[in-house]
C-alpha cells in the first residue's frame, strides 16, 4: 500500500513538472496567481526575495563563455551586482557606479562607496588646464587655442560668447566679425557693447593713433542715435574734454557738456547744408546761455563773428562780441513774445556806458559819468522805430541807480529837470515837456511810464501850480469809450514790500470838513447801478477796510440810509429755505451751487438752524447725511406731525475754510515830493575808439564768476 502511494505521488509530480516546463510562463508564488504575460518567470512574494548566484571576483571571471546579460553577485573586492556586456560591469544608480571627485588637489574616479577606481593626478601638471588653475606655464608654449587654421570659440550655455578667428579677429557675442575690425563687441536692447570704467585718475577708455587715422571713432546710422556720447554725473563735471595743437586742456570748474582747447581754434564747426549751423548751442533754463564765449586776456575778444565773406575786425582792447559785415555787423531780434529784447547791453563800471554808437563816420561821444547808451551822428543821434506789432517798443531805457532817471530830455535849449528820487523819464521844455501820440492802432499807447525804483513814479502829473504830491488838481485822468480797455490802469509788480505797500492805483483825500457832499478817496461809477453785472467797483481778490462796510438805500424821504454788513472772525456763506414734515420727517438736499462754493466735510460741517412755522409738541431734530450733501429734519419722540418749517444754512467758503482771525499786514502809504530845477551836469568828452572799451573782469550777466582751471597734461595724453 505504501509503495502504491509513493508511485502515485511521483507520477503526479512528473505531470505537474511537465505541464510547467512546457507552459508559456512560469509563476512561482504563495497565492496561486497566474504569471504576467510579459514574463517567462513571475516570482511573487511578500516575505521572501530572489537569490542570484553569489561568487568571488575570481569565480566570476572564470565563468566560461558568459552569455550577454548574465547576472551574478560579487562578494569580494568591489562588492555588488555585475552583468556581462562583452565585459563584466558593476550595476549602479547611473549604470556605471562611478564618481569624479576632487580629493584635495588630486582628481579621482571612485565608485559609489568612495573606493578609488582611477587616480587622475598623473594628468595634472601635464598638458591639461586644471579647474583650479595651472602653475609653471610658459607664455608662447602653454596656451588655449588651436595650432592649425581653425577658428577658436568660447561658449556658455552652448551659445558662442567669444569668437577668435584664425585671421586674428576677435568678436564678442557673434561669430561674424565686422569687416576690418580687429576687436568687435555686439549687444542688443539697452545693453552696452563696450564699457570702460576707472575710479581714480586713470582713463576708462583710451584710443591712440600715431598717424593720419583716428584714435577713437564713433558712428551711428539712426537719426536719434549718437556717434559718440560722453557723460559726467558729477554736478560740476565735464562730459567730454579735448585738446588740439598739443595744448594743455582747460575746463570750467563748474563743469560743462564739453571742454575743447587749442592754440589756434578751440572749437571748429562747419555746416554744409543750407540753413545749417556750424556751432549750435541750446539751453532750456531761464538763467542759462545757449552759447557763451570768454577770453581771459585783458585785451581779448570773447566772440568774433564775420559775415558776407569779408575779413573780420575787432577792437585792439578787446570786447565781448566783435561782429563784421558788409551789411549788418551785429543783428539782434526779439520776437513778438511780451518782454523780449532785440539786444541787451550792460556795463558794470561805475562810469561805464552800456552801448556806444557813432554814425556818419564821426568819433563817438559819451558822458563822463557813464550812461546806458551814447549815440552820436551828424544827422540823427538816435533813431528808434517800433513797428505795428502789439507790445513793440521804439526805444527802451533803464537806470538801475536808486535815484537814477531812465531818460532825461530837454528842449528849447533849457536845462533838464529831474526828480531827486529818480524816475523812468524826465523831460523839460519851455513849450511842452512831453508830447506823446498813439495812433488808432489797437493796443497803442499815447504815453507809457515805468519806474522800477522802490520810490519811483511811472507817470506823475501836477496842475494848477500846486505843491506837488500824489494828489493835486488832476494828477492822472482818463476817458475811453472802448470795451475791454482801461481808462486808468495801475500795476505794481514789486515782490518785496519791506519799503512800503505795493499799490497798483492809489486814491486819497485829505478833506477834514464835510459840508454837504461826501469825500471819496476812490470812486467807481456806473449809470446802470440797478442792473446785474454792472459794477461801480470790482475787485479780483479780497477787499479790506479799516471801517465798516455798508449798503446805501434811498428811503421814501429821499435820504440815503446806511445798512451795515455783519462781521465775523471766519468766512461763512449762508442760505435760507423752507420745508414740510411728512408723517414726522422730511429730507432736504443741498443746492448744487451751494455745495460747489462751500467747504462741507467732516472737519467743516454745515450748520443747520430749523424754526417751525406752527405749533409742534416735540422738538425738530436735524440729522446730517453721511456724505454731507443733505440733511433730514425729524420730529423727536417719533412724532408724526406735518408742520412746515424754515431753515438757515451756514457753511465755510471754499478755499477759506480754515481762516480765523487772520492778521492783516499794515498798509504803508507815503507822499512823494518833487524837487524842481535840478540840473544835470553836462560834461561831454570826445573819445577815441580804444578809450570806449573798459578793461574789466569777464563775468556772466548774473555776476556769476566763471573760473577756468587747467588739467595737468600728463593726465590726458598717454604716450
Confidence tier at 32 by pLDDT (50, 70, 90): confident
- Per residue in 532-544, pLDDT tens? 777 777 778 888 8
Which of 33-42, 324-333, 370-379, 481-490 is the least confident region? 481-490
Cα angle value 500/506/511 (rounded, 5°): 110
pTM strictly above 0.85: no
- Domain range annotation of the chain: 2-90, 149-188, 304-333, 336-386, 397-510+665-687, 572-653
What is the bridge-based pairing of β-strands 405-410 and 423-428? parallel
Provide the pLDDT for residue 593.
95
Which of 128-137, 325-334, 600-609, 611-620 is the least confident region? 128-137
- Per residue in 252-311, pLDDT tens? 888 888 888 888 788 888 877 887 787 888 888 877 788 888 888 888 888 888 888 888
Confidence tier at 6 by pLDDT (50, 70, 90): very low
Between 272 and 565, name the one with better pLDDT: 565
- Of the chain, the percentage scoring pLDDT greater than 70 comes to 74
Dig out the grid coordinates for 217 from the structure. Answer: 571713432
Which of 340-349, 459-468, 549-558 is the least confident region? 459-468
Rounded to whole angstroms, the Cα distance separating 635 from 618 reads 6
For residue 477, pLDDT over 70 is answered with: no
Between 480 and 608, name the one with better pLDDT: 608
pLDDT (mean) for 56-66:
94
- Per residue in 392-442, pLDDT tens? 767 777 777 888 887 787 777 788 788 787 777 777 777 666 666 666 676
How far, in Å, are 110, 357, 362, 369, 702 from residue 318 at the CA level? 89, 17, 21, 22, 21
Find the Cα–Cα–Cα–Cα dihedral 461, 445, 431, 380, rounded to 10°.
130
Beta strands in 104-236 (DSSP E): 106-111, 116-119, 152-156, 159-164, 170-172, 183-185
Dig out the grid coordinates for 491 from the structure. Answer: 500795476
Between 343 and 148, name the one with better pLDDT: 148
Between 255 and 651, name the one with better pLDDT: 651
Q: Determine phi and psi for 366, rounding to 5 degrees.
A: -130, 165
Between 430 and 313, name the one with better pLDDT: 313
pLDDT (mean) for 118-145:
72
Cα angle value 155/158/161 (rounded, 5°): 30
Give residue for cell 505795428: 388
**DSSP for residue 533:** T
Confidence tier at 704 by pLDDT (50, 70, 90): very low
Residue 525 CB contacts under 8 Å (≥ 6 apart), including other chains = 536
Dig out the grid coordinates for 521 from the structure. Answer: 478817496
Provide the pLDDT for residue 224.
77
Which of 77-81, 490-494, 554-558, 644-648 is the least confident region? 490-494
Q: Which fold has domain 572-653?
A: Immunoglobulin-like (2.60.40)
Provide the pLDDT for residue 712.
41
Amino acid at each position: 500500500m505504501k509503495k502504491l502511494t509513493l508511485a502515485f505521488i511521483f507520477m503526479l509530480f512528473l505531470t505537474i513538472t511537465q505541464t510547467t516546463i512546457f507552459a508559456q510562463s512560469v509563476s512561482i508564488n504563495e497565492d496561486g496567481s497566474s504569471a504576467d504575460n510579459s514574463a517567462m518567470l513571475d516570482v511573487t512574494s511578500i516575505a521572501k526575495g530572489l537569490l542570484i548566484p553569489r561568487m568571488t571576483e575570481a569565480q566570476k571571471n572564470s565563468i566560461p563563455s558568459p552569455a550577454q546579460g548574465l547576472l551574478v553577485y560579487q562578494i569580494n573586492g568591489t562588492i555588488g551586482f555585475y552583468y556581462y556586456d562583452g565585459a563584466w560591469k558593476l550595476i549602479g544608480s547611473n549604470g556605471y557606479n562611478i564618481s569624479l571627485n576632487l580629493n584635495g588637489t588630486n582628481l579621482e574616479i571612485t565608485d559609489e562607496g568612495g573606493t578609488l577606481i582611477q587616480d587622475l593626478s598623473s594628468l595634472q601638471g601635464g598638458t591639461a588646464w586644471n579647474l583650479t588653475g595651472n602653475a609653471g606655464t610658459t607664455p608662447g608654449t602653454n596656451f588655449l587655442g588651436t595650432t592649425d587654421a581653425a577658428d577658436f570659440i568660447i561658449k556658455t550655455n552652448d551659445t558662442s560668447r567669444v569668437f577668435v578667428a584664425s585671421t586674428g579677429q576677435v568678436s564678442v557675442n557673434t561669430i561674424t566679425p565686422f569687416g576690418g575690425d580687429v576687436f568687435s563687441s555686439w549687444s542688443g536692447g539697452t545693453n552696452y557693447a563696450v564699457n570702460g570704467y576707472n575710479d581714480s585718475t586713470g582713463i576708462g577708455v583710451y584710443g591712440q593713433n600715431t598717424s593720419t587715422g583716428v584714435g577713437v571713432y564713433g558712428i551711428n546710422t539712426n537719426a536719434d542715435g549718437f556717434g559718440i556720447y560722453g557723460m559726467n554725473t558729477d554736478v560740476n563735471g565735464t562730459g567730454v574734454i579735448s585738446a588740439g595743437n598739443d595744448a594743455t586742456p582747460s575746463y570750467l570748474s563748474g563743469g560743462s557738456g564739453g571742454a575743447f582747447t587749442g592754440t589756434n581754434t578751440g572749437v571748429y564747426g562747419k555746416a554744409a547744408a543750407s540753413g545749417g549751423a556750424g556751432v549750435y548751442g541750446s539751453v532750456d533754463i531761464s538763467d542759462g546761455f545757449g552759447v557763451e564765449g570768454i577770453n581771459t586776456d585783458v585785451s581779448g575778444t570773447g566772440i568774433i563773428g564775420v559775415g558776407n565773406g569779408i575779413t573780420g575786425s575787432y577792437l585792439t582792447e578787446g570786447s565781448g562780441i566783435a561782429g563784421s559785415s558788409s551789411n549788418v555787423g551785429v543783428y539782434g531780434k526779439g520776437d513778438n513774445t511780451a518782454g523780449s529784447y532785440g539786444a541787451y547791453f550792460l556795463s558794470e563800471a561805475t562810469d561805464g556806458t552800456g552801448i556806444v554808437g557813432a554814425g556818419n563816420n564821426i568819433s563817438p561821444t559819451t558822458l563822463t559819468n557813464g550812461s546806458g547808451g551814447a549815440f552820436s551822428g551828424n544827422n540823427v543821434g538816435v533813431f528808434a522805430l517800433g513797428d505795428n506789432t502789439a507790445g513793440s517798443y521804439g526805444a527802451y531805457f533803464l537806470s538801475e541807480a536808486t535815484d537814477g532817471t531812465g531818460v532825461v530830455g530837454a528842449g528849447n535849449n533849457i536845462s533838464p529837470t529831474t526828480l531827486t528820487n529818480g524816475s523812468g523819464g524826465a523831460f523839460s521844455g519851455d513849450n511842452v515837456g512831453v508830447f506823446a501820440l498813439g495812433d488808432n492802432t489797437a493796443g497803442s499807447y499815447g504815453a507809457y511810464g515805468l519806474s522800477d525804483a522802490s520810490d519811483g513814479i511811472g507817470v506823475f502829473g501836477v496842475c494848477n501850480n500846486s505843491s506837488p504830491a500824489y494828489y493835486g488838481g488832476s494828477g492822472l485822468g482818463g476817458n475811453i469809450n472802448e470795451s475791454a480797455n482801461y481808462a486808468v490802469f495801475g500795476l505794481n509788480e514789486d515782490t518785496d514790500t519791506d519799503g512800503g505797500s505795493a499799490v497798483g492805483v492809489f486814491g486819497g483825500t485829505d478833506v477834514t470838513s464835510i459840508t454837504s457832499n461826501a469825500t471819496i478817496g476812490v470812486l467807481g461809477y456806473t449809470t446802470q447801478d440797478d442792473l446785474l453785472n454792472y459794477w461801480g467797483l470790482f475787485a479780483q481778490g479780497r477787499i479790506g477796510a479799516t471801517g465798516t462796510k455798508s449798503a446805501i438805500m434811498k428811503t421814501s424821504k429821499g435820504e440815503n440810509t446806511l445798512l451795515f454788513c455783519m462781521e465775523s472772525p471766519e468766512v461763512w456763506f449762508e442760505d435760507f429755505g423752507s420745508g414740510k414734515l411728512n408723517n414726522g420727517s422730511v429730507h432736504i438736499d443741498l443746492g448744487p451751487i451751494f455745495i460747489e462754493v462751500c467747504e462741507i466735510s467732516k472737519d467743516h460741517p454745515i450748520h443747520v438752524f430749523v424754526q417751525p412755522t406752527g405749533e409742534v409738541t416735540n422738538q425738530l431734530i436735524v440729522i446730517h447725511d453721511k456724505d454731507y450733501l443733505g440733511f433730514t429734519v425729524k420730529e423727536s419722540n417719533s412724532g408724526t406731525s406735518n408742520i412746515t418749517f424754515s431753515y438757515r444754512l451756514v457753511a465755510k467758503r471754499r478755499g477759506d475754510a480754515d481762516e480765523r482771525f487772520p492778521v492783516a499786514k499794515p498798509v504803508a502809504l507815503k507822499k512823494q515830493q518833487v524837487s524842481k530845477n535840478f540840473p544835470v551836469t553836462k560834461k561831454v568828452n570826445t573819445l577815441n575808439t580804444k578809450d570806449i572799451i573798459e578793461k574789466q573782469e569777464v563775468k556772466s550777466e548774473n555776476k556769476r564768476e566763471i573760473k577756468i582751471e587747467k588739467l595737468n597734461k600728463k593726465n590726458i595724453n598717454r604716450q
